[in-house]
Structure 1
Amino acid sequence: MIATVKEGPRRGERIFVSKSQLKENRALLQVQVADRIFEDHYDIEVEKEVGAGWVQVIGKTTTQYAKAESFWTFVLPQAITEKIKFWWSNYLRVFDKIPFLTYAKNTLIVCILGVIGTTFTSALVAYGFARIQWPGRNFIFTLTLATMMIPFAVVMVPLYAVFKKLGWIGTLQPLWVPYAFGAAFNIFLLRQFFMTIPLDLTDAARVDGCSELGIFFRIILPLSKPALAVVALFHFLYAWNDFMGPLIYLTDKETYTLSLGLQVFQSQHGGTEWHLLMAASAMVILPILIMFFFAQKTFIQGVTLTGLKG
């Protein structure tokens, strides 16, 4: 008996087995053929679609549980054998259980203000490191990069003490004001991009009498839109998903963000209502997915052009 592999780069390869072996080990043979096909296609198919696979896993998990009557709809054996009825009203019930729109408004405030602040200040500092010669520039830049090695747990208590003296505990200021002074990673990313812009452009502007701020606003920023978009996207994603900051600094439910609001929703109403929690999670994830799909070209272009050369 001859079994022929009909798929993959090794198409036409034959595996010779006897009829008795085929009958006794049919299951094993199928597994071996499947493994061979998987190995042949791994680098070409599986690796390309691993990202899409994660999207499907997350999407199916949130949407299926969100449309179910309860969590046990997809768990209990008797529930699996029964006809499943989708409850699209779960998405509407989320607004009755938690102030979802209030949480979304607070999250957008933190994200937008943080994006504006960190993008502008990081670009300004990066321009100083990339284009202006001054004593100790490389040393200060090294210290700036070294701050990325400091974990948040080390500065968590000092920051809380500072914000408490400022009277910011319970407000949204601690979540976006610190980023108005720049971020080490953003400064590094923008500096690397600024160094790829030809010096002839800025030198010609200086000869024509343009100031450093004029060069920054009229030449550097217009040419750096891809890198600026990457910085804005990175910070928006971080601020949207941030949980530790709101957990530490926010005390009033009226100021909660979406990530913290979902955590509170999980432990109230007499236990976790998974179907409603998944519905809320789906609504939280949806804006991020939409934004990434529309901005992925700019995102990839910015990362590619930025590079890591010194």
Structure 2
Amino acid sequence: MNDTSKLHDKTSTIILTTALILVAMLYLFPLVWFVLSSFKPGSELFSYPLSILPENATVQNYLDAWTSLDFVKYFTNTMKSSVITTILTVIASATCGFAFAKYDMKWLKFFFVCIIATTMLPTEVIMNPVFTVIRKLGLYDSLAGIIIPSINTATGIFMFRTFFVSIPDDLIESARIDGASDGTIFMKIMLPIAKPIIMTLSIFSFQWRWNDYIWPLIVLNDPKKYTFQVAIRSLVGAENVNWTVLIAASVISIIPLVLVFIVFQRYILDSGATTGMKD
């Protein structure tokens, strides 16, 4: 019976591993094709039959993309908006999540439900009123105009609120007995414990802001203030598209996202998430 159970577990492991490998390949294949296509000359890009590997690989596409766009300026603009928004998003989401999780007030519960309800609204629905507010505040055509509306996210608040609810209230009460204020509890106890959530939301927020196209396109008018995604759109002409340059520039644009994920992903499943708590 024991041998049968082991054989069953081994078979299940093999099947699940094979399934995961197949799913990973389905997600990875378009990205690999995309990156390899960036090394193809224009004559090969749409040749038939299609080939994955470039026959005459070239880096000229990247050189043309680099000279076509002011990468340093657009990278700087995008990095500023992405990093600042990510930091402010984490702070706002953590404070709101802590309040919703640990303060027992009926109006807070109602307010939380209202925030979560906004996730059912398409982004396009609220763009018009948000744009009106941005213009009234004099933030049109500025990086602040794309940063401020993006700080509060229902997803981030929900993540922190769910995590803080799982932390025993005894830990907070013990700190209060020792004379700690709510600010001290939040900064010195709750935030260190929530490090995996902070890192996860940081990755998501940076990715959202880096890839954001519609809102910067609406708010920004000066080409010198364009973010990277809007600048790439300028490569698309009215009558023709230089696909080799466009693909190469797009590959360059995903490099920061890959680096951010590599650096921070090891913190997501940090075992220190239960620090300070007992079973």
Q: Aligned equivalents of 1:243 and 1:42: distance in 2?
A: 40
Q: Is residue 221 of structure 1 aligned with residue 194 of structure 2?
A: no
Matching residue of 1:280: 249
45, 62, 66: which one aligns with 2:38: 66
Are residue 251 (structure 1) and residue 221 (structure 2) matched? Answer: yes
- For residue 101 of structure 1, the aligned residue among 58, 72, 77 is 72
Are 1:210 and 2:198 counterparts? no
Per-residue Cα deviation, 1:137-170 (whole angstroms, up to 9, x for no partner): 2222111211222222221111111111222211
Query: Which residue matches 2:105?
Result: 134
Distance 2:162 2:48 in 1: 57
Q: Map of 1:36-185 to 2, 5 A cutoff? A: 44-62=17-35, 64-70=36-42, 72-77=43-48, 84-180=55-151, 182-185=152-155
SS of alignment partner, residue 55 of structure 2? coil
**What residue number does 2:265 align with?**
296
2:157 maps to which of 143, 164, 187 = 187
Matches within 5 A, 1:228-247: 228-247=198-217
- Give SS of 1:197's match: coil
Deviation, 1:194, is 0.7
Question: Structure 1's 42 and 135: CA in aligned 2 closer, same or farther, altered over 3 A?
Answer: closer
Deviation of 1:133 (Å): 2.4
Structure 1 residue ranges without an equivalent (≥5) = 1-8, 10-40, 306-310
- Cα distance 1:145–1:239, how it changes in 2: closer, same or farther (>3 A)? same
Structure 2 unmatched runs, 5+: 1-6, 8-13, 275-279
Letter of the 2:21 partner, please give it.
Answer: K
TM-score, scaled to structure 2: 0.84
**Greater mean alpha carbon deviation, residues 112-121 or residues 126-135:** 126-135
Is the CA contact (8 Å cut-off) linking 1:65 and 1:278 kept in structure 2? yes
Residues 276, 141 of structure 1: CA spacing in aligned structure 2 closer, same or farther, 3 A cutoff?
Answer: same
Assess, with a 3 A threshold, how the Cα gap between structure 1 residues 225 and 44 changes in structure 2: closer, same or farther. Answer: closer
- 2:15 and 2:141 map into 1 onto residues whose CA distance is 51
Offset at 1:280? 0.7
Corresponding residue for residue 15 of structure 1: none
Q: CA RMSD in A?
A: 2.6
TM-score (norm 1): 0.76
Q: 1:134 to 1:267 in 2, by over 3 A?
A: same
- The one-letter code sitting in structure 2 at the alignment partner of 1:96 is T
Offset, 1:300 = 5.1
Higher-Rg member (1/2): 1
Q: What amino acid does structure 2 have at the position aligned with 1:287?
A: P
Q: CA deviation at 1:89?
A: 2.7
SS in 2 for 1:272: coil
- Structure 2 CA distance for aligned equivalents of residues 171 and 133 of structure 1: 39
Q: 1:52: Cα distance to partner?
A: 4.0
Alignment partners' CA distance in 2, 1:275 and 1:259: 16
Partner of 1:28: none
After superposition, the C-alpha distances for 1:90-114 in whole angstroms (9 at most, x for unaligned) are: 2122121111221111111111110
